Amino acid sequence: MKRIQLFEFEDFGWFPTWLRVCMTNLIVIIQKMIGVPELLATMIADILRSKKLDTIVDLGSGSGGAMPEVLASIHKINGLEHVALIMTDLFPSPEMLKKFNLNTSDRISYCDTSVDATNISTAPMGLKTMMNSFHHMRPAKAKAILESAQRTHQPLLIYEMGDNNIPLLLWWLLLPISLIILIIMVLFMTPFVKPLTWRQIVFTYFIPIIPICYAWDGQASLPRMYTLKDLDLLLDGLGSENYTWKKGHAKKNNGKKQGTYLLGLPN
């Protein structure tokens, strides 16, 4: 495999939830800037219609990521105003329960029970999604997730907004410059965070923990992503007359590539 196993700060259990939320806020902004919510809304809308589904079940939701924005874009599509989003995690967060379950009018809820992506039968019914999180899974666990989806005949959409298409040596050579660029980007993006908390400000401009962690995780995620050829290895032995896998580069309405996807659907 081209993918390598680097660490990201967000992988560690000791990493504070509030810091994780601050970093997710920045990811949401960059996703908006490059049009990820609209791209995903179009992809997901097609799946929901073809399979006659009205619920999205996001696996490994963490602090929310792109999916609330994606749902808002889906609700703008005629006939899909009723679609609901259920966010899940292996270890449900009390903070996220409060954040997403206080308001029910947006049709977003956060599951208070543990959902293991390697055992999708533990998840509520609906289209399963993994947004920018599949690269966190080591190959054995990644394959177990795919096997679980096929075994239980559950639809699964995996999306990564980046692409592991740079030679590893070049990635290492460019790493110092890339980190500096991302740190500077954080300084400019932070004022657009909503809601903008005192922690987001203090730990960006006065004690720059957020820019450093965000820059490293952003760069470390790239060589961790599964290439399309890597996905072929994970899919080896999978696929049947009752279940079909499809992969490729995700494309925006203008035809420009933006990340990769893997879609598993029961026939």
- The type of residue at 234 is L
Q: Mind listing the pLDDT tens digit for each residue in 53-100? A: 999 999 999 877 889 999 999 999 999 999 999 999 999 888 888 888
pLDDT, position 253:
85
Report, as an integer, the average pLDDT of 127-133.
Answer: 96
Measured from the Cβ of residue 193, the count of other Cβ atoms closer than 10 Å reads 17
Between CA 234 and CA 232 the distance in angstroms is 5
pLDDT, position 238:
94
Q: Mind listing the pLDDT tens digit for each residue in 211-258? A: 999 999 999 999 999 999 999 999 999 988 899 999 999 999 888 999
pLDDT, position 99:
84
Between CA 66 and CA 21 the distance in angstroms is 12
pLDDT, position 55:
97
φ/ψ of residue 217, rounded to 5: -60, -40
Q: Mind listing the pLDDT tens digit for each residue in 180-195? A: 999 999 999 999 999 8
Report, as an integer, the average pLDDT of 99-116.
Answer: 89
Measured from the Cβ of residue 79, the count of other Cβ atoms closer than 10 Å reads 9
The reply to whether omega before 208 is within 30° of 0 (cis) is no
pLDDT, position 66:
86
- In this prediction the pTM is 0.94
Q: Mind listing the pLDDT tens digit for each residue in 18-35? A: 999 999 999 999 999 999
Phi-psi region of 122 (alpha: psi -120 to 50; beta: other; left: phi over 0): alpha
Give residue 219's Cα distance to chain centre: 16
Provide the 3-class DSSP secondary structure of residue 105: coil
The H or E element containing residue 200 is helix 198-201
Share of the chain above pLDDT 70, in %: 100
Between CA 102 and CA 98 the distance in angstroms is 6
pLDDT, position 103:
80
From residue 90, give the alpha-carbon distance in Å to each of 59, 121, 146.
Answer: 8, 13, 17
Q: Work out the pLDDT band at 105, boundaries 50, 70, 90.
A: confident
Between CA 148 and CA 74 the distance in angstroms is 27
Any idea of the CA torsion for 77, 78, 84, 90, to the nearest 10 degrees?
A: -30
Between CA 2 and CA 4 the distance in angstroms is 6
Average pLDDT, the chain: 94
pLDDT, position 98:
85
